Chain A
Amino acid sequence: MTPRERLGQVLVYLALAVAILLALFPFWWMVDTSLKRPVDIFSGVALWPQQITLDNYRRLITDYHFGYFLLNSLIVVAAAVTVSLVLGTLAAYALARFQLRFGVRKMALYLVLFVRMLPGIMLCVPLYIVLAQWGLLNTRLGLILIYAGLNTSFVVWMMQSFLEEIPRDIEEAAMVDGDSRLAALWRIVMPLAAPGLIATSIFSVITTYNDFIIALTLTSTPAAQTIPVGVSTLIGKIEIQWGPMAAAGVVGALPIVIFALVVQRNFVRGLTLGAVK
């Protein structure tokens, strides 16, 4: 390596170090604030808590209903993601394996993309009116139905590309041996598609868990409000409680950050939504 190349190498790592610092420091500031006592929060810049306290986290549960928010998020995300995985995988299988007539394939894919790209704000007003008619405002069931529908688009899109990569010969052999199509799908194809299914579920969990505007407009009390809405309720107050707000942010971010670290590899694919194969 010539000295010039070595210098270039050093500069690359330096630039990346700066980028990583910019990406991560804001997270640390939130964690830092969440662990401080109120007096310390206001006592000037300190990059490390003077005295670590979990009081802000305790107050989330005792004063700010975060137990309910967590429970709601858990139930809504689990139910909605499960339903959408079933519906979406079946549809993806149909798209990946069959010659569909009457332009059905194209229409289905357009519908999928349409749902995926529709900004949440566009859905809120009509969904609010519809749920009000059905008496489903401020219920977990209402949120589950909507998230399941929305997330189905993501599952179809992802699973279709995963299923296409699995060679057809294998399941066809199983069908020649007497399996029905669904049996072949369940017994042969799904085990092979497992990594794709896992990646898809993880992203489904992330996007559903992270959603704010739909839950914000369609729920109004801790009986159905999810974590992101819970986080925002700490801001509406006249005097902002910085400590609990920071703690709420940490609670909101933590599950997703852990996910991201655990499933690095399959991450890219879901995040770029098949824009690049």
Chain B
Amino acid sequence: MALAVDIVAERESRGRQRRAAAVPYLLLLPAVLALAAVSLYPALDGINASLHRFRYGLDKGFAGLDNYAVVFADPLFWQAIATTAMFVVIVVAIETLLGLLLALLVARELYFAGPIRVMLILPMTIAPVVVGVIWRLLYASDIGIVDPLFQALGMGAPHVLAHPTSAFLGIVAVDVWEWTPLLFLIILAGLQSMPQDPMEAARVDGASRLQIFFHHTLPLLRPVLLVAIVLRTIDAVGTFDQIFVLTKGGPGTATQLISIYAYNTAFLFNQYGRAMAMLIGVLAFLIVLMTAAVRLMRRTSEKIE
């Protein structure tokens, strides 16, 4: 493939060659600058802010690691971290299981396979804010349908968003509704790009469906599953929009994820420095996950190729 490039290059003069060598870097430059402007620059600015003291939203000068010390000693911060961790672990586990189940159901000869797939993934395509609105309407104790549904089944009306435990479970349900489709899609793509021979051979040898699944399908699916789980975990840590619309972190602090707490700290209490100190802690954790994600992705694509 590189041969044709060489032939073209050989025909060019040295000066043109050197200019041609710069072309890819010039093509790359605007995008890299744009990306850096919206990620590295704010990140550095954020680190800077985390080292400053703010009062009424105004920068009151360098404060060393004071913000970090305050955050570290703040029980609400640790509570938000614990709530977030619990939320992420639960939703990712449920979504992976349901996504796998759905993918296994759809990965076969089906009538209406296309429309079925689109209908199943619709929840993940709409704005998270709208997801929040939809569930606000479903959970509402005066005009909703969840309470009447429980009553119809002979149970008491749960008033989902009014009590700490049910509110937490309520936002878990919303997240599962919204994001199971993503796991489903990734796993389905993995299933469909998988070699079928080992399964076929095992079937001929008389293995049961469950045996085939656990001995052949699941191990082959492992890399794809890992990528999906890491990607979803990274996204779930930043969950904000739906919670903002549904509970704003309440009742009390039952659904106060770290993103909500950081948002309140920054934009309600105008403590930008403190908010950034929190977020940088979370970011450090996310970078570890991201690095893992990149490694996994590279390994996955190598395996598939």
Contact = CB atoms under 8 A, between A and B. Distances in A.
A and B form one complex: yes
Interface of A: 12, 15-16, 19-20, 22-24, 26-27, 29-30, 33, 41-42, 44-45, 84, 87-88, 90-91, 93-95, 97-100, 104, 108, 110-115, 117-130, 145-146, 148-150, 152-153, 156, 168-169, 172, 175-176, 181, 206, 209-213, 216-217, 227-228, 231-232, 235, 240, 242, 245-246, 248-249, 252-253, 256-257, 259-261, 264-265, 267-268, 271-277
15 contacts: A23-B123, A41-B143, A84-B34, A94-B25, A111-B35, A115-B39, A121-B238, A122-B42, A125-B266, A231-B127, A245-B137, A268-B185, A271-B121, A272-B186, A277-B193
Contacts of B259: 119, 121
Contacts of B165: none
Nearest to B26: A94
Nearest to B45: A126
A253 B259 CA distance: 24
Contact of A264 (B118, B227, B290): B118
B42 A16 contact: no
B46 interface: yes
A118 B234 CA distance: 8
Contacts of B36: 111
B27 A93 contact: yes
Interface string B120-148: 11111111111001111110101101001
A252 to B, nearest CB: 4
B38 A123 contact: yes
Given A111-B32, A276-B190, A120 B23 contact: no
A172 B118 contact: no
Interface centre among B8, B125, B237 (most CB of A within 10 A): B125
B204 interface: no
A277 B185 CA distance: 12
A123 B280 CA distance: 11
State the majority secondary structure of interface residues on A: helix
Given A242-B140, A260-B118, A276 B38 contact: no
B238 A120 contact: yes
Contact of A122 (B125, B140, B279): B279
A271 B35 contact: no
Contacts of B272: 125, 128-129
A161 B290 CA distance: 20
B182 A217 contact: no
B238 A100 contact: no
B276 interface: yes
A212 to B, nearest CB: 4
Contact of A26 (B28, B138, B140): B138
A87 B121 contact: no
Given A16-B105, A98-B24, A148-B34, A113 B294 contact: yes
Interface stretch (B66-74, B89-97, B153-161, B240-248): B240-248
